Structure 1
Amino acid sequence: MKQRFIKILSFAVLLSSNFNAQTFNNLFRTKDRPDNLEDFDLQKFSWGFFLAGNNFDYKMVLNPTYGMDGNQSLVESKSTYSFGAGLIGKMRLNEFLDLRIEPGLHFVQRDLTFKTFDHINELYPGGFPLPDGSSTTVITEPTDVDIKKIVKSTYVDIPIMLEIHGDRWYNSRPYAAAGINYLVNLQSNQTSENDNQLNTFRSTTHNFGWSAELGIQFYFNRFKLTPAIRGTFFTNNEIVQDKSTTSPYWTPAISMLQSRAFMFVLKFE
């Protein structure tokens, strides 16, 4: 009985070992594994489109007189999630480098909260003095519209990026990219005659920035799918100051205003 048990156990171990070896070989073998779109990356030019989930925010440098009360910041920015879409154009430079242009449209909303009223009223209880001897209007009971400015932006983003990638591993390939951006804000209100006194927040129309991106390209039978994470950072000051006759509750409190965005991008080529 004991010898029979040992024979059965030995047979089971041998069968299990053979099964595991075959399973391992099927999962990780490379000899018979097909490569999808083998010649796709050898093309000089290729095209596609992308979809993006965005999170835009403002990086601010506040004026120490109007925007700060000691160490307390009197202006706050709240980001919201939004979306974008665009096209992809790629030119192959060599085995490891590609040049990309990806014009896109991004719809953005951010909330700016101004807690400057009590502080500035303490500085200028009779109103901010103007050069002609008059003074601005003092707002003692600000409304929600005065305190919270909803800033809507529509950016036409034109990034030019240099992509460096490694070798393909089965049907995937990692890459990194970086480049410069030219961005046009279609809702900037830069040339508007109104300002924050009439609930119009103004920013620059033409903007510049830089981007960095990481992702993995996956090759399927008919297309290439690329999930990626991108950061875009504006380099210019976007703030357009209120009129000189407007109380300094709003834009004078901000010395520097720059957008920054983090995106999750899905590319189809």
Structure 2
Amino acid sequence: MKRIFIVIAVLICSQNVSAQLFSKEKVQNLQNFDKPRFSWGYILGLNSYDFNFDYTSEFEDADIVVDNTIGFSVGLLGNMRINDYLDLRLEPMVTFTSRNLTFSNPLFTSQFESFREVKSTYVHVPLLLKVSTKRLNNFKPFIVGGVSTSINLSSNEDNPDDNSSGEFRMKTNTNYFELGFGIDFYLYYFKFTPSIRGIFAMSDELVQDNDPDSPWTSTIDKMSTRGIFINFTFQ
């Protein structure tokens, strides 16, 4: 009987704890944080940029291998509240990244010919619409999407040298569309928001070599950036 009583007591305690954890509302932090029309913050993050290549019809079997690396981002956040579920966000940031290209052309016999390291520094400016769920205790999931533009400070677009001299050239200005999701965590002193977002360029970024029959660029019909941002926002 004593063992039965202990088991019953443990079950009752477990049910009470479970009820408090999953059904009872907790004390909310920063209850009025989202009420102001405008709010501000800063962003730290990681990024991974890639290239998507479309080849010309006569070179459909061409292959350029892209080895992308992990870069980092720093930026600011400006948020305009529309209502409890919609926000308009401006997130200007500077991103640093690097991509390694290997050209699989049988004419190339040295690393100087077949390998290009593409280092990029972007001034990236997204305008995004954030669509949130109802706040659940101290967190609030959301999805976000919009458009952005960037200036590639390392594009080499105006460089007269091309791949024959070891210089890979890209266009300076690019436009993207973006889509992602995240969660707002309302901590005791501030709001912390981890999010993940994909970016997809809408235009061709390649600057063709001076020689129209260049073994590096003549096979490429279009080159466009795609990438992933993992951002940590503090407000």
So what's the TM-score if we normalise by structure 1?
0.83
So what's the TM-score if we normalise by structure 2?
0.94
How many percent identity over aligned positions?
32
Alignment match, 1:56: 49
User: Does the CA contact (< 8 Å) of 1:114 and 1:249 recur in 2?
Assistant: no
Alignment match, 1:96: 85
Alignment match, 1:19: 13
Alignment match, 2:64: 75
Q: Tell me the CA shift for residue 29 of structure 1.
A: 4.8
In structure 1, the gaps of 5 or more residues are 1-5, 119-140
Aligned residue among 98, 101, 121 for 1:112? 101
Alignment match, 2:182: 215
Q: Tell me the CA shift for residue 9 of structure 1.
A: 3.3
- Provide, for residues 98-154 of structure 1, a one-character-per-residue CA deviation record: whole Å limited to 9, x for no partner: 000001111111111112243xxxxxxxxxxxxxxxxxxxxxx63211111111111
**Is the radius of gyration larger for structure 1 or structure 2?**
1
Structure having the larger proportion of residues in helix: 1
In structure 2, the gaps of 5 or more residues are none
Alignment match, 2:223: 257
Write out aligned runs for 1:88-167 (5 A).
Answer: 88-118=77-107, 142-167=109-134
Task: Give the whole-Å Cα distance in 1 for the aligned partners of 2:115 and 2:3.
Answer: 76
Aligned residues: 235
Distance 1:199 1:219, change over 3 A: same
Distance 1:203 1:16, change over 3 A: same
Distance 1:24 1:115, change over 3 A: closer
Task: Give the whole-Å Cα distance in 2 for the aligned partners of 1:115 and 1:99.
Answer: 44
User: Does the CA contact (< 8 Å) of 1:75 and 1:253 recur in 2?
Assistant: no
Q: Tell me the CA shift for residue 36 of structure 1.
A: 0.5
Task: Give the whole-Å Cα distance in 1 for the aligned partners of 2:89 and 2:18.
Answer: 39
Structure having the larger proportion of residues in strand: 2
Structural RMSD (CA): 1.6
